[in-house]
Homo-oligomer: A and B are copies of this chain.
Amino acid sequence: MEKGISQAVIRRLPRYYRYLGELLEDSVERISSSELSARMRVTASQIRQDLNNFGGFGQQGYGYNVKNLYDEIGRIMGMNQQHNMIVIGAGNLGQALANYVKFEKMGFVIIGLFDVNPALHGVSIRGVKVRMLDELKEFLQKNRVDIAALTMPKEKAGKVANMLVELGVNAIWNFAHLDLEVPEHVVVESVHLSDSLMQLSYNIANREDERKNKK
Residues of A within 8 A of B (CB): 2, 10-11, 13-15, 17-18, 40-41, 76-79, 81, 83, 91-93, 95-97, 99-100, 102-103, 106, 108, 146-147, 170-171, 173, 177-179, 185, 187, 189, 191-207, 209
Q: A173-B196, A198-B13 are in contact. Are A189 and B207 (CB under 8 A)?
A: no
Q: A92-B96, A95-B92, A205-B78 are in contact. Are A171 and B197 (CB under 8 A)?
A: no
Note all chain B residues with C-beta closer than 8 A to A14. 192, 194-195, 198-199
Q: A102-B194, A173-B196, A191-B196 are in contact. Are A204 and B93 (CB under 8 A)?
A: no
**Smallest CB gap from A41: residue in B:** B179
B197 touches A173 (CB 8 A): yes
